[in-house]
């Protein structure tokens, strides 16, 4: 073996990969701040218990956990949700409402590595605490859409599937399932798209035979793809609780419609989410072609803050992953080529010209421009080639001829136009050509 290799499912970010990741983070951060979310961060290593007090989620079998030197059972974080509940829960009384928070961080799950699924990945998490009404869902789903639309992705590239575990629990209860059985059925529905009928095997093993007629009704409910169909399916129950809930549905869909986002959202009862803490609306974002695993997932989790020992605080949120987002951007040709491109490439005649250019280069950099120049003397032709390949927009040419005349040549690398400018007007000429600063 030559040297050492990184562990399976862990990525190394060479500068080009890193700049693509930075681009993704930048768009997410921009979206979150424009929606008024505040950024936070938290530990990578957490008490194991934080993840095992829930109820047998798949995520618990995927923990990178160990005993530390102090004998504590600890785990690398597989997700942010329990942690952010602790942060908010611990200071719930002091925090201004609504609590709208976001983070960008790395997570660890011992998964079988496959396309779009790694053992270390980044997520953007956004959550709203202290708002029980569907207004919070509108805000978050709109933010999720912006987190993808910000890259130039459109309604033809991705969509958000909206579902509701409240409605599922109500419906399953009406069919005669108790709470534990209902959770088993929801687990099967979560796997149904991937596994088909086999998805129910686990349920049958745990809870006994599943009546054919009931199963058919479950499968029919799962096919529902519009609010009208949902209303029709629930009308026979004539329940006050259901009517209120359908009112919430109209609010969420109406609000997103008013934001001009209807084309991005589909009613889709097949989504139930794998994590057991969700209590109401749940949603997932997918690419339209269906080539990739989920881009994002989230929903309401009104009981988790309390379950972790804090105040009774309603919450809703989502996380979007950088792995699937990156794959989708690449597929659509939207991954940036020149994220770290300089603004300006300085082409230098020789040693004397290099020193003459240094004052300008330092001043331009101090003014915030990204400026590159060759560290060693190389031929002009080669420098122009490097300048073009760097993605710079401008070249500043410091040749012996120019300096003797007291000028610098400024070349627009996009249209190759050139002009001479006096030495003392370089900053001004750059500003004119590039705008800003």
What residue ranges bind ligand HAM (CB under 6 A)? 79, 81, 109, 111, 117-118, 121, 123, 125, 127, 294-298, 301, 317-319, 321, 323-324
Pick 319 or 395: Cβ nearer ligand HAM: 319
The least CB distance from residue 21 to ligand HAM, in Å, is 13
Pick 24 or 296: Cβ nearer ligand HAM: 296
The least CB distance from residue 24 to ligand HAM, in Å, is 12
Rg (CA), the chain: 28
**Residue showing the smallest CB distance to ligand HAM in the complex:** 321
Closest CA to 190 of 212, 170, 168, 207: 168
**What's 226-275 look like in SS3?**
CHHHHHHHHHHHCCHHHHHHHHHHHHHHHHHHHCCCHHHEEECCCCCCCC
Torsion sign across C-alpha atoms 129, 133, 138, 141:
positive
The least CB distance from residue 318 to ligand HAM, in Å, is 5
Closest CA to 394 of 340, 341, 325, 320: 341
Number of C-beta neighbours around residue 16 at 10 A: 11
376: tokens are: 């060693």
Residue with tokens 């569907």: 134
What three-state secondary structure class fits 66? Answer: strand
Number of C-beta neighbours around residue 170 at 10 A: 18
Give the largest CA-CA distance in the chain: 93
The least CB distance from residue 128 to ligand HAM, in Å, is 10
CA distance 270 to 268: 5
The least CB distance from residue 272 to ligand HAM, in Å, is 12
The least CB distance from residue 108 to ligand HAM, in Å, is 9
The least CB distance from residue 337 to ligand HAM, in Å, is 24
Pick 324 or 390: Cβ nearer ligand HAM: 324
Residue with tokens 């001479």: 420
Pick 136 or 346: Cβ nearer ligand HAM: 136
Pick 123 or 383: Cβ nearer ligand HAM: 123
Pick 315 or 407: Cβ nearer ligand HAM: 315
Pick 74 or 271: Cβ nearer ligand HAM: 271
Sheet with 120-129: list strands edge to edge.
38-39, 99-108, 120-129, 315-321, 296-300, 281-287, 158-164, 265-267
Residue spans of alpha helices (H) in 332-416: 351-366, 380-390, 400-404
CA distance 101 to 126: 6
Give the phi and the psi of residue 104 in degrees, each rounded to 5: -130, 120
The least CB distance from residue 364 to ligand HAM, in Å, is 40
The least CB distance from residue 178 to ligand HAM, in Å, is 26
Pick 62 or 239: Cβ nearer ligand HAM: 62
Pick 109 or 411: Cβ nearer ligand HAM: 109
The least CB distance from residue 124 to ligand HAM, in Å, is 9
Pick 79 or 164: Cβ nearer ligand HAM: 79
């Amino acid at each position: 073996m030559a040297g050492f290799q990184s562990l399976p499912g862990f990525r190394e970010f060479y500068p080009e990969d890193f700049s693509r990741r930075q681009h993704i983070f930048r768009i997410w951060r921009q979206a979150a701040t424009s929606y008024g979310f505040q950024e936070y961060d938290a530990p990578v290593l957490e008490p194991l218990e934080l993840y095992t007090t829930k109820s047998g989620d798949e995520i618990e079998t995927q923990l990178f956990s160990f005993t530390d030197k102090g004998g504590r059972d600890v785990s690398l974080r597989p997700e942010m949700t329990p942690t952010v509940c602790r942060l908010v829960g611990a200071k719930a009384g002091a925090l201004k409402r609504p609590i709208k928070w976001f983070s960008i961080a790395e997570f660890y799950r011992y998964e079988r590595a496959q396309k779009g699924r790694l053992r270390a990945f980044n997520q953007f998490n956004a959550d709203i605490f202290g708002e029980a009404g569907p207004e919070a869902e509108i805000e978050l789903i709109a933010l999720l859409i912006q987190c993808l639309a910000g890259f130039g992705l459109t309604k033809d590239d991705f969509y958000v599937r909206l579902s509701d575990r409240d409605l599922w629990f109500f419906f399953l209860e009406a069919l005669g399932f108790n709470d534990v059985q209902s959770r088993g059925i929801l687990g099967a529905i979560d796997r149904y798209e991937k596994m088909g009928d086999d998805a129910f095997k686990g349920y049958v093993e745990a809870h006994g035979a599943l009546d054919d007629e009931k199963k058919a009704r479950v499968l029919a409910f799962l096919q529902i793809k519009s609010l009208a169909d949902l209303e029709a399916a629930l009308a026979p129950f004539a329940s006050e609780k259901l009517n209120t809930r359908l009112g919430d549905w109209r609010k969420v869909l109406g609000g997103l419609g008013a934001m001009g986002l209807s084309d991005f959202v589909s009613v889709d009862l097949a989504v139930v989410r794998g994590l057991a803490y969700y209590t109401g609306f749940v949603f997932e974002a997918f690419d339209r072609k269906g080539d990739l695993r989920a881009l994002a997932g989230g929903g309401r989790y009104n009981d988790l803050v309390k379950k972790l020992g804090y105040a009774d605080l309603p919450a809703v949120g989502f996380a979007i992953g950088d792995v699937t987002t990156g794959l989708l951007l690449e597929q659509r040709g939207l991954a940036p080529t020149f994220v770290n491109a300089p603004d300006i490439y300085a082409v230098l005649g020789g040693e004397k010209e290099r020193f003459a250019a240094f004052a300008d280069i330092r001043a331009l950099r101090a003014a915030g421009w990204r400026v590159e120049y060759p560290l060693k003397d190389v031929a002009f032709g080669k420098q122009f080639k490097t300048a073009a390949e760097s993605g710079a927009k401008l070249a500043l040419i410091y040749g012996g001829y120019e300096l003797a005349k007291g000028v610098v040549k400024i070349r627009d690398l996009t249209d190759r136009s050139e002009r001479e400018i006096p030495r003392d007007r370089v900053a001004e000429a750059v500003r004119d050509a590039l705008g800003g600063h």
